[in-house]
Amino acid sequence: MVVKSGEMTAVVGSSGSGKSTALQLIQRFYDPSEGMVTLDGHDLRSLNIQWLRAQIGMVEQEPVLFSTTIAENIRYGREDATMEDIVQAAKAANAYSFIMDLPQQFDTLVGEGGGQMSGGQKQRVAIARALVRNPKILLLDMATSALDNESEATVQEALSKIQQGHTVISVAHRLSTVRAADVIIGFEHGTAVERGTHEELLERKGVYFTLVTLQSQGNQAANIEGIKGEDKTDRASLDSKQTFCRGSYQASLRASIRERSKSQLSYLVHEPPLAVVDHKSTYEEDRKVRHQLLLGIGGSLSGTILYWQMIDGHDSKKVNVQFLRSNIGIVSQEPVLFACSIMDNIKYGDNTKEIPKEKVIEAAKRAQLHDFIMSLPEKYETNVGAQGSQLSRGEKQRIAIARAIVRDPKILLLDEATSALDTESEKMVQAALDKAREGRTCIVIAHRLSTIQNSDIIAVMSQGKVIEKGTHEELMDQKGAYYKLVTTGAPIS
């Protein structure tokens, strides 16, 4: 794999093919066991690591924000950055306008893990942080994959601005991101197997062709009347605001599990930012299980709604918290895995009793995970690494699903559970979620049409309010916000 100076190189491949690992090798988080990684012909191991990392800017899929002001978060990119440097970086990252709309502007606190901001806002702050150091090399690891349409367009515009004059290596699976690259490299089983432009690789009909075809098939499977075009089914606009029991990287690196638990509980201390906008009994008289889906744009509080609900007519704030949570399972966009075995990570789903191995295996099978685990040398005793770093995103997500299943919850919350996955992983995880949903009340936040279409009810949210509600067919007939989202991918206004 050769990356030329000043070019944008896109790296594509299925889950677990080694895309993110390649970026980690460039940053020397790992050293290769065979061969070498060179910069201008020099083995990275011979270079001063502090100097090397000073030349690199990184924007990840799950941006790390610290519990301080926006200005300080951007300054973490370069400690000696002046306020003028920070403002310029924010402008280049398309973050300046939303920051200036905030009451305290650059002095606004972002909250633990950036919990007070939407995904698109966090991502733009992360881009500003990368830009303030003026890096020679810019690494983008799925930087827009988990965003809604409106946020993705804004972040993509920011990335397009900064690609000029930098060497950019982008791991991505969205066609809109990949097509803009000067060179596309296809990965398979840890090896770069093909290289070329979008048109060249399609003609070659190799790894890239397969990924594009799978993505197109996924779009067609979710197709409905009025949809035409290649990747208009990518986004149905929303952004989760918080993730329950989500450990930030700061917590995982700096705090014990006990301290992390305290910080996460602090989210629940505040008054709800939103009144109850709708209520459905957990079970209807005929015990029919409903599958309700929430749709919205970044910052619309669609994620927040998962935390402030009425359960069977009772205000959730007045229900015993332990009882309430024992009946809920959640699978979030950014699953929290602990640095222990796969077995123990699944068992964390229910800490009230000792879970037998047979039940863990059954949950793993329902999560489409068992075969993968059995292919590992240590099987269920395999250590997943810090934050699940030894696993691909699809594998981590399926462990999170197994963990939710093992507690046998009556209510299952799915918060963008497949939004950040590549097409191949998404199909496997979606199949696991379909099995997990059987016999349960489900509330789903999603923006992919393949997830949305079969819901009993679809609620469209904007600015913290439900603006439309109905089945897929009913909302398409109304030709309102949902119809606009599906047919054009345009944001809800």
Indicate the pLDDT class of residue 437, thresholds 50, 70 and 90: confident
Report pLDDT for 293.
Answer: 56
* CATH 3.40.50.300 is the classification of domain 8-221: yes
Q: Which residue has the higher pLDDT, 433 or 364?
A: 364
User: Does 249 have pLDDT greater than 80?
Assistant: no
The residue ranges of every structural domain in the chain are 8-221, 249-488
Closest CA to 302 of 240, 237, 236, 235: 240
Tell me the one-letter amino acid at 64: V
CA 255 to chain centre: 23
Rounded CA separation 167/135 (Å): 9
Query: 0.85 exceeded by the pTM?
Result: no
Report pLDDT for 83.
Answer: 92
Superfamily of domain 249-488: P-loop containing nucleotide triphosphate hydrolases (3.40.50.300)
114, two tokens: 């950036």
Q: Which residue has the higher pLDDT, 345 or 207?
A: 345
Least confident of 59-73, 294-308, 447-461, 462-476: 294-308
Indicate the pLDDT class of residue 143, thresholds 50, 70 and 90: confident
Closest CA to 297 of 118, 471, 173: 118
Phi-psi region of 182 (alpha: psi -120 to 50; beta: other; left: phi over 0): alpha
Kindly report the average pLDDT of the chain as a whole number. 73
Least confident of 25-34, 58-67, 183-192, 419-428: 419-428
Indicate the pLDDT class of residue 149, thresholds 50, 70 and 90: low
Q: Residue with structure tokens 């991918």?
A: 489
Report pLDDT for 180.
Answer: 75
Report pLDDT for 87.
Answer: 92
Closest CA to 445 of 467, 471, 418, 470: 418
Q: Which residue has the higher pLDDT, 214 or 141?
A: 141
Q: Provide mean pLDDT across the span 404-432.
A: 75
Report pLDDT for 74.
Answer: 92
Q: Which residue has the higher pLDDT, 344 or 266?
A: 344
Q: Provide mean pLDDT across the span 209-234.
A: 50
User: Does 148 have pLDDT greater than 50?
Assistant: yes
Percent of the chain residues topping a pLDDT of 70:
70
* 8 A C-beta contact, residue 127 and residue 88: no
User: Does 186 have pLDDT greater than 70?
Assistant: yes
Alpha helices in 76-148 (DSSP H): 83-92, 96-101, 119-131
* 8 A C-beta contact, residue 302 and residue 240: yes
Report pLDDT for 86.
Answer: 92
Q: Provide mean pLDDT across the span 214-238.
A: 42
C-alpha dihedral sign at 125, 103, 237, 93: negative
Q: What is the DSSP letter of 69?
A: B
Rounded CA separation 443/291 (Å): 6
User: Does 303 have pLDDT greater than 60?
Assistant: no
Closest CA to 252 of 263, 265, 268: 263
Indicate the pLDDT class of residue 240, thresholds 50, 70 and 90: very low
User: Does 356 have pLDDT greater than 70?
Assistant: yes
Rounded CA separation 181/140 (Å): 12
Each residue of 59-71: pLDDT tens digit? 887 778 888 899 9
Q: Which strands make up the sheet holding 56-60, listed edge to edge?
A: 56-60, 137-141, 167-171, 8-13, 183-188, 191-196
Rg (CA), the chain: 22
Q: Provide mean pLDDT across the span 354-362.
A: 88
Report pLDDT for 198.
Answer: 82
Each residue of 128-139: pLDDT tens digit? 898 888 888 888
Q: What is the DSSP letter of 271?
A: P
Rounded CA separation 21/92 (Å): 28
Indicate the pLDDT class of residue 254, thresholds 50, 70 and 90: very low
Q: Tell me the backbone φ, ψ of residue 126, rounded to 5 degrees.
A: -65, -40
Report pLDDT for 67.
Answer: 86
Q: Which residue has the higher pLDDT, 214 or 250?
A: 214
The continuous run of DSSP H or E covering 212 comes out as helix 207-221
Each residue of 361-401: pLDDT tens digit? 988 888 878 888 998 888 899 888 877 778 877 788 888 88
Q: Tell me the backbone φ, ψ of residue 139, rounded to 5 degrees.
A: -105, 125
Report pLDDT for 71.
Answer: 92
| DSSP codes joined into one string, 366-398 | HTT-HHHHHTSTTGGG-B--GGGTTS-HHHHHH
* 8 A C-beta contact, residue 414 and residue 331: yes
Is the fold of 8-221 the same as that of 249-488? yes
Q: Provide mean pLDDT across the span 50-66.
A: 83
Q: Which residue has the higher pLDDT, 457 or 252?
A: 457
Report pLDDT for 110.
Answer: 87
Q: Provide mean pLDDT across the span 102-115.
A: 85
User: Does 119 have pLDDT greater than 60?
Assistant: yes
Rounded CA separation 238/119 (Å): 9
Alpha-carbon distance values, 310 to 316, 334, 439, 458, 472 (Å): 5, 25, 20, 18, 25
